[in-house]
Structure 1
Amino acid sequence: MKRLALAAFAATLAELSGVALTATAVWLVVRAADQPPMAALTVAVVAVRALALSRGALRYAERLAGHDAVLRHLADLRGRVYESLLRQPVQRRGGDLVTRLVSDVDAVQDVVLRCLLPACAAGLVGAVAVLVVPALVLPVLLLGVVLPLAAFSLADSHLRALAPLRSRLAERTVALVHGAAELTAFGVLDDELARSGRVITDIATREHRATTRTGALTAVAVLIQFGTALALLSTGAPAPVVLGAVAVLEVFLPLTTAAQRWAETRGSLTRVRELLTARRPVPALTEDLPPGTRLAVVGPSGAGKTTLLSRFAVPDARGALADAHVFHTTVRANVLLAKPDATQEELDFAAHTTDLDLPWDLVVGEHGTALSGGQRQRLILTRAVLSTPPVLLLDEPVEGLPPTQADQVLHRVLSTAPSTVVLITHRLTPLAHEHFDEILVLDNGVITQRGTHATLVTTPGYYRDRWKDETSKSEYRNSYR
């Protein structure tokens, strides 16, 4: 705060020096036209030089103090934002959110340097000017209050109208990028491009209107400035006073732009404040997992199984999540992310464990598009097996595989995992053959049953009903074969 106060004080003195320089220089020119003795002009000449030098020095001091204060604050703010991000659930910590928050934090710099400091300097200069020339009250109010409020209102309404259009354009762009093949196949690609073009045209039209309004406000500000000068001339005010008044009103011209910038950055400041003040979500369910514990979670769709898994995947837990990103590179490079110095024997063992039979040099495509769903799952599992994490979180790890192959792969993965394991699955067959310390049955985020497989299959409830249904289907398939 001290550095900001120093910057505001230096900015005010720099603006006052500029006003005084203009008035003194005009007086010097007018007085010199009468050809007085040089001694009569000495004080004015020295004053002009001193004011010119002081104005530059004060402007430098203002920039130095202002940027120093802002950069120190940004460094502290970035640290607090990062710590706040770490406290959020995993699903809120996406790359887009992080990128957006970087832009939002950077907006603080514009608020201070382009909005706050100019407004403080203009307010103090205006107060001094009104005390010296009371006739400047009206133009100061118009340029310092009315026009900035009008600019803020226009910019705010423009941004509100533009937000849904930009959102619509972003959605259409994503749809065109990811669905180009389907749109081409159905012959509607040109129609989608035309719709996107209309949205772009609408955005451009609104931007043009906003630019026109901004230009109109600037023109009004200039008219007020020179109208004030004409009014002072008509009252017989001396030239130094007239041009000094013009210099005073010049200080208020950037406030229109500052008000528009404030409207643009207000949303960024709100998002940063909400993030910093947000409390860490407290899950309705908390489970302590001692090292080496094996926990299974089952339940109907929408019961909250994956949500529960995300609660384990907070910074309190360290390990590998078997629902990871597949990079646009080779199978080998994707697997080696878990252990860059792994030997070929270790790679082959991990691949055998997960039944991964892909060529090591196969390029998998962006997000693994060159792979089937089952191959992608096994690639991610191979990476998890190679990393040998202390905590392994598995969310339907063998989804998409035939039941027999799925059970074999899961058995080998669990057999080689010397770690704490949390498994979410909708199939109960693996739970009957693998050792789990406890099985949780969830429904709407609430534990309705808990125990081992042996106890749950004899207890009335979802687990026993699901087990009977699954075994009957298995018997039907075997008899059909």
Structure 2
Amino acid sequence: MKTFIRLTAIVRPYFWWMALAALIGFATTGSGIGLLMTSAYIIAKAALQPPMAALQLGIVGVRFFGLARGVLRYAERLVSHNTTFRILAKLRLWFYDALEPLAPARLLHFRSGDLLQRIVDDIQSLENLYTRVLAPPVTAILVALLMWVLAGTYSLQAALLILCFHLLAGIGVPLLTMLLGRGLSVGIMNRKTDQQLLALDLIQGIGELQVYGRLAGHLEEMRSVESAKLQLQRKNAIVEGLQESLTGLLMNGAVLTILWALIPIVSTGAMNGISLAVITLAVMASFEPFIPLPAAVKHLEADRHAGKRLFEILDAKPETSSPAAPVPFPANRAIKIEKLSFTYPGSLTKALDSICFSVPAGQHIAIVGPSGAGKSTITSLFMRFWNSSEGGISIGDVDISLLDPEELRRNISLVSQRTYLFAETIRENLLLAKPDATDEELRKALSQAGLINFASKLDEWIGQHGMKLSGGERQRIAIARIVLQNAPMIILDEATANLDGITEKEVTDTLSSISRGKTMITITHRLKAMDQYDNIIVLDKGKIVAQGVHENLMNREGLYHRMWELQHATPAVLTEVPE
């Protein structure tokens, strides 16, 4: 119930629109009832062969209610769907606004396929919250009150009997189908989630599955999940058929009961036969808004489950947050790291252990070390994806925790090992760095990044994750973003790790060219062109084991020297010595 209350609070701003749609829905059903009542009146009255003038009221009523029913149905659909789409848009924006501060720290515990299921299908499921959960009961209650008034004018007993059948149709049948179908909607949603996770694993890991001989087992698991989902859907279809049959049975029972209750009144002359026919058909029509109620209970279960899954993410506290009164970004771009320590949640080993170093404004430094040394952790802390356990990072003597995170990231250009490109055009991917950039600025950025041939392909689609581009081209797109962003600080986190030697040198030269006069931190385990850096910091197991320029570090017999020798050693040429 708590989840449902929280969901209804989200749609509360649209209360009057929902009320208007419910009122029009009631008027639509009322027009249907009026159409049958006036039709019954004409047929029953005409059987008595009255003057034509006596039928005029019924004729006008049929025309009016017939036209009104169509117009009102259109208006109800227009208002209800407009309201639903507004609610859905609000839900998506609300979820993204709440999700964005959680990335990436708080989202590491969720698989990407599961997140996609929650973002797309679970939110899509909530579109039923109004049209199929909140609106139908309101319409049914209003119609029940209308029938109470109509039947009560002739017989209180008849009104009570109709009310009893309406209660059975509005409460009894939904409760019964809820008990019979308990867990079916949630089970189907869970199987769909499992299918999406398995499909994503198949697409992304088909090579590994083939290498380790697990492809056949994975496909069998997918078939098993599909079979389980189909079995649940069959059970759900049986329950849906049962609820429709029960509602129809109650409608027929109500008709027979109302005849049983009113025929004695007709025989006494207190009510004529025409009125009996009119009320009987009105009772039949009054069950129309009760048909969706069992489905409303089913959708309520699905919506509560979807809401629970969404709130499971949104209730998580962001790892970092913006200060109440952010300090303006300092003009001094000097970076200072003092006694910085960090331990990842669930780990007993420090990723960084009391490291200290500084980067004067405009200098280029490199942070090197073996994999797992803690190099990329520095990037995560610098971008405020995580908060440090101890110590801190300052820019111009201002601790970055006092800065607005968005302002901080706007002043830092980051190129990581894996450049993420959206399944969009080159233009759209570049505009992420500068949304108001002109075509001339985009072409200039591509030219500086070594992609002059792409200047005429701005509106070319690059495929999912940029798969139509090579690894070097994707990294150059990232460099073009740096040019457009024009931030005073640049961080390169293994930016050339996956490139071949020739492409790596071209990308490195381009980066050196566009970073002149800017502060640049290069994080890498590949020691190439190290003499161009003003300072080199060597990390091992989260600690700084050495720092200095390339020549000084090579003169020491330390980790840096061993890494250099290992990466630049010339393979020995083995020759066969004749006997």
TM-score (normalizing by structure 1): 0.70
Distance change >3 Å, CA 154–CA 203, structure 1 → 2: same
Distance 2:148 2:419 in 1: 65
* Correspondence for 2:136: 118
Whole-angstrom CA distance in 2 between matches of 1:171 and 1:468: 46
Q: Report if aligned partners of 2:117, 2:193 keep a CA contact under 8 Å in 1.
A: no
User: In the alignment, does 2:287 pair up with 1:249?
Assistant: yes
Q: Higher RCO, 1 or 2 (CA under 8 Å, sep at least 6)?
A: 1
Cα shift at 1:471: 3.5
Offset from partner CA, 1:37-94 (integer Å, 9 cap, x none)? 4444443333333333333343333333333444444555555455445544257698
Residue 127 of structure 1 is aligned with which of 126, 145, 148?
145
Aligned to 1:321: 415
Instruction: Provide the rounded CA distance (Å) in 2 between the counterparts of 1:188 and 1:472.
Output: 40
Query: Counterpart in 2 of 1:460?
Result: none
Residue type of the alignment partner of 2:40: V
1:474, 1:440 → 2: CA distance?
12
Cα distance in 2 between the residues matched to 1:467 and 1:145: 82
**CA pair 146-101 structure 1, distance change in 2 beyond 3 A:** same
1:453 to 538, 544, 547: 547
Candidates 223, 232, 241, aligned match of 2:258: 232
Moved more, 237-246 or 471-480: 471-480
Counting only pairs closer than 5 Å after superposition, residues 10-29 of structure 1 correspond to structure 2 as 10-29=24-43
Unaligned runs of 5+ in 2: 1-14, 153-158, 264-275, 334-360, 387-404, 434-440, 453-461, 573-579
Alignment match, 1:216: 242
SS of equivalent residue, structure 2 residue 495: coil
Give the 3-state SS of the residue equivalent to 2:443 in structure 1: coil
Task: Give the match for residue 301 of structure 1.
Answer: 372
8 Å CA contact 1:440–1:449 kept in 2: the answer is: yes
What secondary structure does 1:235 align onto?
A: helix
In structure 2, the CA distance between the partners of 1:345 and 1:280, relative to structure 1 (3 Å rule), is: closer
- Number of matched pairs: 449
- Is the contact made by 1:411 and 1:434 (CA closer than 8 Å) also made in structure 2? no
Tell me if structure 2 keeps the 8 A contact 1:298–1:305: no
Note the residue ranges of structure 1 that are not aligned, 5 or more in a row: 351-363, 456-462
Give the equivalent residue in structure 2 for 1:458. none
CA spacing shift, 1:96–1:295, aligned 2, 3 Å: farther
Q: What is the Cα deviation at residue 175 of structure 1?
A: 4.3
* Segment of structure 1 superposing worse, 111-120 or 90-99: 90-99
The percent identity for this pair of structures is 26
Residue of structure 1 equivalent to 2:233: 207
User: Would the aligned equivalents of 2:188 and 2:232 in 1 still touch at CA under 8 Å?
Assistant: yes
| Paired residues for 1:380-399 under 5 Å | 380-386=474-480, 387-388=482-483, 389-390=486-487, 391-399=489-497
1:162 aligns with one of 175, 181, 188: 188
Q: CA deviation at 1:122?
A: 0.9
Aligned partners of 1:152 and 1:262 also within 8 Å: no
Deviates more, 1:60-69 or 1:407-416: 407-416
Q: Which amino acid aligns with 2:80?
A: G
Partner Cα distance (1:408, 1:272) in 2: 45
Residue 251 of structure 1 aligns to a residue whose secondary structure is helix
Query: Is contact 2:23-2:139 (8 Å) kept?
Result: yes
Q: 2:443 aligns with which of 324, 337, 341?
A: 341
Tell me the secondary structure at the aligned position of residue 30 of structure 1. Answer: helix
1:163 and 1:393 map into 2 onto residues whose CA distance is 42
Q: Paired residue for 2:533? A: 434
After superposition, give the CA deviation of every residue in 1:180-222 in whole Å (9 maximum; x if it has no partner).
5565667765554444333322322221121112111211111
| Aligned partner of residue 225 in structure 2, secondary structure | helix
Q: Does 2:23 correspond to 1:9?
A: yes
Instruction: Give the TM-score normalised by the residue count of structure 2.
Output: 0.60
Cα deviations by residue, 1:137-187 (Å, 9 ceiling, x for unpaired): 222122112322444555550133334433443344344444555656677
Shift of 1:324: 0.1
User: Within 2, Cα distance between the matches of 1:343 and 1:454?
Assistant: 33
Matched, 1:261 2:299: yes
Q: Distance in 2 between matches of 1:222 and 1:197?
A: 38
Moved more, 306-315 or 48-57: 306-315
The residue correspondences of 1:22-41 to structure 2 (distance < 5 A) are: 22-41=36-55
